[in-house]
């Protein structure tokens, strides 16, 4: 069987093939680039361009209306660094991360270990039940929770009063002592299913031979989990934690529909504060809101970088 030479690029005298120009290589790969074109256009229009525009607007004194724009350089950033509400909102955001991320990661891991058992009856039904809140629209869910937790006639307070657990209604969203905890609880319930899916996918990577070997050695369920399953799951822990942290920082729609940042700024996350500066006040300041957005983006990048660094250190430790 003879091999036909490539007549499109004949070899030169030394036997090597000439390098094709960039234009020819792009033309030869035109179909993959053509299929990528819609994604490139959407990414440029909805992500890249708004990001560049926000950086430019952060250097302006602009209310967002009209053409009256004044270049003020870094004045908006200086104002943000001395803004107590900005630091308060950042603290609330980090507090939500510190509380909800460990709860989501650990609770979903326990559920995944239970639901991954093929002997568990109705395992698929339980998986669906935990995942249903994920597909529900967050804004609508926040509005519904306002009704469910309403102190005057809401189902939760009615149940507490009828069972005698409480003598007076609980103002879950109207009290600064309970509002933040209520928002965090709803957030965990809403997004627990997606973290559960991450863990279930990670558990599927463990070969069945591992469980068979453990049974042959006479290892119990707890010993198999501690000495075989959990060590194999360690690399996935860092990745799932990073994904959960990034998701938790994007909590605007839930807080905005449930509390609007109140009461008394107890649930004021940074995204809600940025929205209030841009659109929620009588004298909007799009330039200042853009500066807050840029700073929050930097904080998000720093947090993600730290988590990725910890991920790399965890992988190296696992390999050694």
Render pLDDT for 237-265 as a digit per residue (tens, 0 to 9). Answer: 888 988 899 889 889 999 999 999 989 99
Residue located via tokens 């996918």: 201
Grouping H, G, I as helix, E, B as strand and the rest as coil, residue 61 is strand
Lowest-confidence pick of 129-133, 135-139, 172-176, 278-282: 278-282
**The pLDDT of residue 172:** 94
**The pLDDT of residue 53:** 92
Are 89 and 272 contacting, i.e. CB atoms less than 8 angstroms apart?
A: yes
Does residue 301 or residue 222 have the better pLDDT? 301
How big is the chain, counted in residues? 320
**The pLDDT of residue 60:** 92
Q: Tell whether pTM > 0.85.
A: no
Q: What is the Cα–Cα distance from 247 to 240, expressed in whole angstroms? A: 11
Mean pLDDT of the chain: 86
Domain ranges of the chain: 22-57, 83-319
Report the 10 Å Cβ neighbour count for 126: 15
How does pLDDT run across 93-103, given as a tens digit for each residue? 999 999 999 99
How does pLDDT run across 37-81, given as a tens digit for each residue? 999 999 999 989 989 999 999 999 988 777 788 899 999 999 999
How does pLDDT run across 114-126, given as a tens digit for each residue? 888 777 888 888 8
Q: Is omega for the bond preceding 263 within 30 degrees of 0, making it cis?
A: yes
Measure the CA dihedral 17/18/19/20, to 10°: -110
**The pLDDT of residue 259:** 94
Q: What is the Cα–Cα distance from 136 to 131, expressed in whole angstroms? A: 9
Structure token digits, residue 24: 């020819």
The helices-and-strands tally (H runs, E runs) of the chain is 15, 2
Q: Give percent above pLDDT 90 in the chain.
A: 52
Grouping H, G, I as helix, E, B as strand and the rest as coil, residue 179 is helix
CA quadruple 138, 140, 143, 144: dihedral sign: negative
| pLDDT over threshold 80, residue 318 | no
Render the burial of 25-36: b for 16+ CB within 10 Å, e for the rest: eeeeeeeeeeee
How does pLDDT run across 285-303, given as a tens digit for each residue? 999 999 999 999 999 889 8
Helix, strand, coil abundance in the chain, percent, nearest 5: 70, 0, 30
Query: Which residues, at least 6 apart from 252, have a Cβ–Cβ distance to it below 8 Å?
Result: 269, 271, 272, 275
Average pLDDT over residues 17-33: 78
Q: What is the Cα–Cα distance from 290 to 86, expressed in whole angstroms? A: 13
Domain 83-319 classified CATH 1.10.3720.10?
A: yes
| pLDDT over threshold 90, residue 317 | no
Query: Which residues, at least 6 apart from 65, have a Cβ–Cβ distance to it below 8 Å?
Result: 284
How does pLDDT run across 188-219, given as a tens digit for each residue? 999 999 999 999 998 888 877 777 777 777 77
């Amino acid at each position: 069987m003879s091999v036909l030479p490539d007549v499109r690029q004949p070899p030169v005298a030394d036997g090597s093939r000439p390098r094709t120009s960039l234009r020819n290589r792009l033309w030869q790969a035109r179909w993959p680039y053509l299929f990528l074109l819609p994604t490139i256009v959407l990414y440029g229009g909805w992500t890249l361009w708004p990001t560049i525009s926000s950086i430019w607007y952060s250097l302006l004194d602009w209310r967002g209306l009209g053409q009256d724009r004044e270049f003020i350089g870094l004045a908006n950033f200086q104002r943000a660094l001395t803004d107590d509400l900005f630091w308060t909102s950042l603290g609330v955001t980090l507090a939500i991360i510190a509380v909800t991320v460990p709860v989501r990661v650990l609770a979903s891991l326990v559920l995944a270990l239970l639901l991954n058992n093929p002997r568990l009856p109705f395992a698929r039904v339980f998986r669906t039940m935990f995942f249903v809140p994920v597909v529900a629209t967050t804004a609508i869910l926040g509005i519904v929770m306002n009704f469910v937790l309403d102190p005057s006639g809401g189902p939760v307070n009615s149940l507490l009063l009828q069972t005698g657990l409480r003598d007076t209604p609980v103002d879950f969203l109207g009290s600064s002592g309970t509002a933040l905890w209520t928002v965090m609880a709803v957030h965990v319930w809403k997004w627990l299913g997606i973290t559960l899916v991450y863990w279930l996918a990670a558990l599927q990577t463990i070969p069945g031979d591992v469980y068979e070997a453990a049974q042959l050695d006479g290892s119990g369920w707890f010993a198999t989990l501690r000495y075989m399953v959990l060590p194999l799951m360690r690399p996935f822990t860092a990745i799932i934690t990073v994904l959960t942290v990034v998701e938790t920082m994007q909590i605007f729609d839930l807080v905005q529909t449930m509390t609007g940042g109140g009461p008394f700024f107890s649930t004021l996350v940074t995204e809600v504060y940025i929205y209030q500066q841009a659109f929620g006040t009588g004298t909007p300041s799009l330039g200042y809101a853009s500066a807050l957005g840029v700073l929050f983006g930097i904080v998000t990048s720093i947090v993600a970088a730290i988590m990725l660094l910890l991920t790399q250190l965890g992988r190296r430790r696992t390999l050694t």
